[in-house]
Amino acid sequence: MDVKPRLPRGRQFFANPGPTNIPDSILKAVAHVSIDFNDPAFLKVYDAAVAGVKRILKTQHEVFLYTGSGHAAWEAALVNLFSAGDVLLVPETGHFSDSWGKMAKDFGLGVRTLAADWRRGIDFAELRGVLAADSGHAIKAICAVHNETATGMVLPLAEIRAALDATDHPALLLADTISSLGSMEFAMDAWGVDVAVGGSQKGLMLPTGMSFTGVSPKGMAAHAGSTLPKSYLNWTNMLTRRHKSFIGTVPTSLFYGLEESIRLLEEEGLDEVFDRHARLGEAVRRCVRHWSGNNGPSLFCLSPDRYSNSVTAVLMPEGHDAEAVRRIALQTFNVSLGGGLSRLGGKVFRIGHLGDLNEPMILGTLSTVEMALRLAGVPHTPGGVNAAIAYLAEVAQGS
């Protein structure tokens, strides 16, 4: 390659779909001196933060928090609800639905996959068929990844709930909302989600390190019968503690960040936050669609009703390596794009557009991708950024 790396200067554009940009005010809040997690001053912050997480999950139910990444919360959902041999249904979305399924197998659970084309998503008629056919209710739960970070596609949870209801199936509905919460509409109680899995490092704009699960009363009932061994993540143990969460030391500094995160999200208004993600996501898609002319890179997702507003996967034309584009963006222009995961490695790159993001940030990112395409010799129709500019100006006009 002729493109020389440069020493990174200016702030890095972090367009990786997770973790995500952390606002300065949250970075400062997190840089908090140590405090006793039983200090009344901390407990006030703590209780308010937990209440805020419930408002963002849109739930009235229990929330359990973990010092851990999103995978810890996945595991918490599994070990707290199930017993060895229980069967789960996993609608295939991509890398993350696969991973959650594999984790379930690690705990001796049966996993049935509702297969899907990664570019189109599952067929809901098929889902209803599977549920209807399960008259013995062998399926104890559906593990649904609301927003598949690896493909940039949404799995409509309300339709899963509708399929369960239509078939009178008692399976629990578990939803991974890690890369959707705080970026796209999510409504735990309204959608009948029994366990919602979230993390700190995406729409909540915090460093990685804390995850949580909202749990419905039906989920708590299932927990009571669960026999998988557990301790660090055990909800029953947690309920005996003052914090009703966390076994061991509480990661206090993240709560100062969470307090600020909730303030920022609610100052803007969740609906406005979602609108912002929607328009920035659409700008990215219009840009990619423009590039795709002339045999250029194209949107990986082929189902427009399932576009993600927090991440877009861009499929490279045959014979071109996504990693070359990423490398130029990072090494020459200080822009971090996401790579393709598992079977998509090298085939797609991903643009994260979630969290603390605005128009100039996404337009600077798209401009850089266009430079990188050019420099990597990837065919494309130049001018994608124009399409994004035109769209975003139009939205601002109307607003």
List residues forming the annotated binding site for substrate. 350
Q: Which is nearer to a copy of itself, 70 or 121 (CB)?
A: 70
List Cα–Cα distances, 139 to 110, 164, 169, 349, in angstroms: 9, 11, 9, 35
Q: What's the min distance (Å) between Cβ of 164 and a copy of itself?
A: 26
Q: CA-CA distance, 224 to 235, in Å (whole number)?
A: 10
Q: CA-CA distance, 229 to 247, in Å (whole number)?
A: 15
Tell me which of 4, 240, 304, 319 binds a copy of itself, using CB under 8 A. 4
Q: CA-CA distance, 178 to 145, in Å (whole number)?
A: 8
Q: CA-CA distance, 63 to 80, in Å (whole number)?
A: 13
Binding mask 160-199 for a copy of itself (x = CB under 8 A): ---------------------------------------x
Tell me which of 258, 299, 371, 378 binds a copy of itself, using CB under 8 A. 371
Q: What's the min distance (Å) between Cβ of 255 and a copy of itself?
A: 11
Chain position carrying tokens 């124009």: 386
Q: What is the C-alpha R_g of the chain?
A: 21
Mark the segment that binds a copy of itself (CB under 8 A) among 33-41, 56-64, 86-94, 215-223.
33-41
Mark the segment that binds a copy of itself (CB under 8 A) among 11-19, 131-139, 153-161, 316-324.
11-19
Q: Which residues are annotated as a binding site?
A: 350
Q: Which is nearer to a copy of itself, 157 or 254 (CB)?
A: 254
Q: Does 390 bind a copy of itself (CB under 8 A)?
A: yes
Q: CA-CA distance, 297 to 292, in Å (whole number)?
A: 5
**Which tokens hold the place of 250?**
């509480």
Mark the segment that binds a copy of itself (CB under 8 A) among 152-160, 187-195, 315-323, 384-392.
384-392
**Which tokens hold the place of 362?**
């996404």
Q: Does 9 bind a copy of itself (CB under 8 A)?
A: yes
Q: By CB under 8 A, what part of segment 295-354 binds a copy of itself?
A: 328, 330, 332-336, 338-339
Q: What's the min distance (Å) between Cβ of 302 and a copy of itself?
A: 27
Mark the segment that binds a copy of itself (CB under 8 A) among 100-108, 135-143, 154-162, 314-322.
100-108
How many residues of this chain bind a copy of itself (CB under 8 A)? 112
Please answer whether residues 374 and 41 qualify as being in contact, where contact means their C-beta atoms are separated by less than 8 angstroms.
no
Q: Does 270 bind a copy of itself (CB under 8 A)?
A: no
Q: Does 220 bind a copy of itself (CB under 8 A)?
A: no
Q: Does 249 bind a copy of itself (CB under 8 A)?
A: yes
Mark the segment that binds a copy of itself (CB under 8 A) among 87-95, 183-191, 244-252, 312-320.
244-252
Q: Which is nearer to a copy of itself, 66 or 191 (CB)?
A: 66
Burial class (CB in 10 A: 0-12, 13-18, 19+), 383: middle
Q: Does 121 bind a copy of itself (CB under 8 A)?
A: no
Q: What's the min distance (Å) between Cβ of 40 and a copy of itself?
A: 9
Tell me which of 72, 133, 156, 346 binds a copy of itself, using CB under 8 A. 72
Q: Does 67 bind a copy of itself (CB under 8 A)?
A: yes
Q: Does 294 bind a copy of itself (CB under 8 A)?
A: no
Q: CA-CA distance, 145 to 164, in Å (whole number)?
A: 16
Tell me which of 10, 136, 304, 319 binds a copy of itself, using CB under 8 A. 10
